Amino acid sequence: MKLPNIQIKKILYPTDLSESAAHAFSYAVSLANAYGAGITILHVLAEFPGEEFIANMINADTWEEIKNRHYSEARDQLIGKKRDHVAIKEVLEAFSEEAQADGEDQTFVTDEVLIKTGTPAEVIANTAQEQNCDLIVMGTHGHGSIADIFVGSTAKWVIKHSPIPVLVIRLP
């Protein structure tokens, strides 16, 4: 059997800003260093399920009344959320720069820092495909049901649906 020559040129590193995700970054950097690959950092802001979800819970008149009552509050939160978007991107850029400065013996390139909104697992898998990544390196918590103790639910979904290999890292 002839083994294929594996080329890893682009690594997707999704992070939820947790300790587990930060630990996984060292693996992404190590692989990037070994293969001469670039790293794309991705953070996904979970999206509110939307009005179709609400329509199943309450009638349209009640929903309109609630929206009107809380319009200014919602507007302020959305504006704040957009600012948080920028702040998270700056934090991730600074995180990457500090890792590069601290890792004198390991060099890597951060291709891009992306902040997206949606269902984290789906956004991770779609972004890997859109960015033409060769590997996803992500941390896992293992929170949730008994089945999720070994691999967290987001990681589990990504493993099952990703078009490319996924390396899942747990905290030691």
Q: Whole-angstrom Cα distance, residue 28 to residue 31?
A: 5
Q: What CA–CA distance (Å, rounded) separates 127 from 168?
A: 17
Counting Cα atoms < 13 Å in the Cβ hemisphere of 9 gives 4
Segments of the chain with pLDDT less than 50? 143-150
pLDDT in tens, 16-50: 888 888 899 999 999 999 999 999 999 998 765 55
Residue type at 118?
A: G
The SS3 of residue 36 is: coil
Region for residue 48 given its phi and psi (left: phi exceeds 0; alpha: psi -120 to 50; beta: otherwise): beta
pTM of the model: 0.74
pLDDT of residue 148: 43
Q: What pLDDT score does 50 carry?
A: 56
Burial per residue of 115-136, b for 16 or more beta-carbon CB atoms within 10 angstroms, e otherwise: bbeeebbebbbbbbeebebbbb
